[in-house]
Amino acid sequence: MPRLTIDGREIEAKAGQTVMEAAREHGIFIPYFCWHPQLSVPGNCRICVVGVDDKGGEWVDIACNMPVSEGMVVHTNSEKVRARRKATMQFITLNHPVDCGICDKAGECTLQDYHYEYNGERSVSVDAKVHATKHHDLSERIVLDNERCIQCTRCVRFTREVSKSNGLGMISRADHSLVRAAEDGSFGRDPYSDNVIDICPVGALLSRSFLHKARVWYLKPTASVCPGCSRGCTVNLWHRRPEWRLKAPGMRTANESIDRVTPLENPAVNGPWICNKGRDLAALLGRARAEVAMLKGRPAELQGAIARARALVASARRPVAVVSSWASNEELAAFKASLGARFATFVKADCQPEPGEVVEDALLIRADKNPNTAGARALFGDAPLAIPPDADLVLVWGEGLDFGLIPPGAAIIHLNAWLAPENGHADVFFPVSIQTERDGHYTNFAGVTSAFAKCFPKAAGVADAAALFPALAGAGGGE
């Protein structure tokens, strides 16, 4: 293993590593725009220059494409390196517009950070900036501001090397170089296209759904798990910070909604990527909610509904439960501990692929569109769903069950988070919380368990399923 010295610190690198990789592995920061750990090395932004001692003095070159060698002495902040970085920043910002006041990337922009750190001066150019297209539609999801683009080509390389759609390319040269979508529309069909927004180091690639919606410093991320398929990608749900809550009348929805979703890097599950379905969790989890318990379709107090359901459980001779594959490990364990011995239990798929949705691919997307099928089957087995004709009580947890499969005359206890016609058909209906209203874990298809955390309060009439089950078994008063 080659040993080298970076900024006076001796480190051991792996064979074949670059100076950039070795430095990062040992906690030494070198700035970069075009380089990305999951993409090929183009070496075109030149901001990652470092100095290397040689007999003739210090020479300067880019760290992202510089192989380590035994005895190498590297400087990341020498006078020569600082001068080269400052000149590079002057070049990169030569035509870049100073529209940070309206740019969605403000507060997360690498160009802002590096300008402050390595340049910090007004442009030395006296020529007018070259103008380009400001709002170019790359797809129905993404808007491109070419004036902000620094031609790092991360987005182009992503579509070629990761998503494999080949959906983006560069046209023209020099000041007139532009990112453009392929004419065959492949970028618009790319189920991973929104990742280019994350990896863009500036505000050139913009999410249409988040455009001018909120400043990032008004938001905070909560770690969660995408429930869109059995991959269980870890994500950050961005929502309003409590100290920046909107206080005008009718702002509850804005204060308690997801503003955007970004990947939470997890090498064991999804790496640094998620699919576009994960980006749309605000719509999926923001559907109209059920917030009132019901008895045969009529609103009821939660405690009254618990009492009625408890009586149905106690009197049933052959009760059957159909549990949710969207339930957390904690909720499933609570059901098993409280009612598992009382019910014959089956696991169902709450969700099926939507028309036009990518069902499965070789990167992340799984055919099972439920986040915790593995966790549910680990507790209750994988027997095919078959409600016996003599079942006299069926507990239905979550979405996805055809109520026509329930034997006529059987009593129904239904737990669901969303408004649905089936809610009113149950003898007892309970509105239950969703993953943004409680802490929990999902186990994905490969057996990897990931955590999600609460970010919003639940409505007053909504119960946590994990607290309901002991109450239905007569072990507590519920919630």
- Are the C-beta atoms of 336 and 379 separated by less than 8 Å? yes
Residues 335 and 412 in one domain: yes
Residues 302 and 444 in one domain: yes
Question: What is the distance between the terminal CA atoms of the chain, rounded to a whole angstrom?
Answer: 60
Instruction: Indicate whether 43 belongs to any domain.
Output: yes
pLDDT exceeds cutoff 60 at 51: yes
Residue tagged 């400087």 (tokens): 75
pLDDT exceeds cutoff 80 at 233: yes
**pLDDT tens per residue across span 136-178:** 999 999 999 999 999 999 999 999 999 999 999 999 988 889 9
Instruction: Indicate whether 212 belongs to any domain.
Output: no
- Are the C-beta atoms of 378 and 448 separated by less than 8 Å? no
Residues 176 and 224 in one domain: no
Instruction: Indicate whether 478 belongs to any domain.
Output: no
**Rounded to whole angstroms, how far apart are CA atoms 237 and 226?**
10
**pLDDT tens per residue across span 302-343:** 999 999 999 999 999 999 999 999 999 999 999 999 999 999
How confident is the model at residue 478, as a pLDDT?
43
**CATH number for position 21:** 3.10.20.740
Last residue of a domain, one of 207, 232, 266: 207
pLDDT exceeds cutoff 90 at 122: no
Residues 416 and 459 in one domain: yes
In 3D space, the residue among 113, 59, 53, 61 whose CA is nearest the CA of residue 89 turns out to be 113
**pLDDT tens per residue across span 377-402:** 999 999 999 999 999 999 999 999 99
Residues 281 and 297 in one domain: no
**CATH number for position 243:** 2.20.25.90
Question: Taking all residues of the chain, what is their mean pLDDT, rounded to a whole number?
Answer: 95
Instruction: Indicate whether 466 belongs to any domain.
Output: yes
- Are the C-beta atoms of 431 and 293 separated by less than 8 Å? yes
How confident is the model at residue 477, as a pLDDT?
42
Read off the amino acid at residue 351: C
Residues 314 and 419 in one domain: yes
Last residue of a domain, one of 285, 303, 328: 285
Residues 155 and 251 in one domain: no
pLDDT exceeds cutoff 80 at 475: no
Mean pLDDT of the region 79-89: 96
**CATH number for position 468:** 3.40.50.740
How confident is the model at residue 56, as a pLDDT?
80
How confident is the model at residue 120, as a pLDDT?
80
Instruction: Indicate whether 479 belongs to any domain.
Output: no
Mean pLDDT of the region 50-67: 94
pLDDT exceeds cutoff 80 at 272: yes
Mean pLDDT of the region 20-46: 97
**Rounded to whole angstroms, how far apart are CA atoms 202 and 100?**
10
Q: How many domains does the chain have?
A: 4
pLDDT exceeds cutoff 50 at 251: yes
pLDDT band at 119 (very low <50, low <70, confident <90, very high): confident
How confident is the model at residue 26, as a pLDDT?
97
Exposure on the CB side of residue 120, measured as CA atoms within 13 A:
5
**Rounded to whole angstroms, how far apart are CA atoms 389 and 211?**
53
pLDDT exceeds cutoff 60 at 476: no
**pLDDT tens per residue across span 437-449:** 999 999 999 999 9
How confident is the model at residue 324, as a pLDDT?
98
**pLDDT tens per residue across span 456-465:** 999 999 999 9
The residue range of the domain holding 355 is: 293-472
Hey, what are 419's tokens? 């408004």
Residues 85 and 115 in one domain: no
pLDDT exceeds cutoff 90 at 235: yes
pLDDT band at 479 (very low <50, low <70, confident <90, very high): very low
- Are the C-beta atoms of 263 and 269 separated by less than 8 Å? no
Q: What is the reported pTM?
A: 0.93
**Rounded to whole angstroms, how far apart are CA atoms 254 and 83?**
46
- Are the C-beta atoms of 351 and 399 separated by less than 8 Å? yes
CB count within 10 Å of CB 464 equals 19
Last residue of a domain, one of 207, 240, 267: 207
Residues 171 and 246 in one domain: no
Residues 377 and 420 in one domain: yes
pLDDT exceeds cutoff 80 at 404: yes
Contacts of 392 (CB under 8 A, 6+ apart): 316, 317, 318, 319, 409, 410, 411
Dihedral angle, C-alpha 301, 303, 308, 311, nearest 10 ° = 180
How confident is the model at residue 252, as a pLDDT?
79
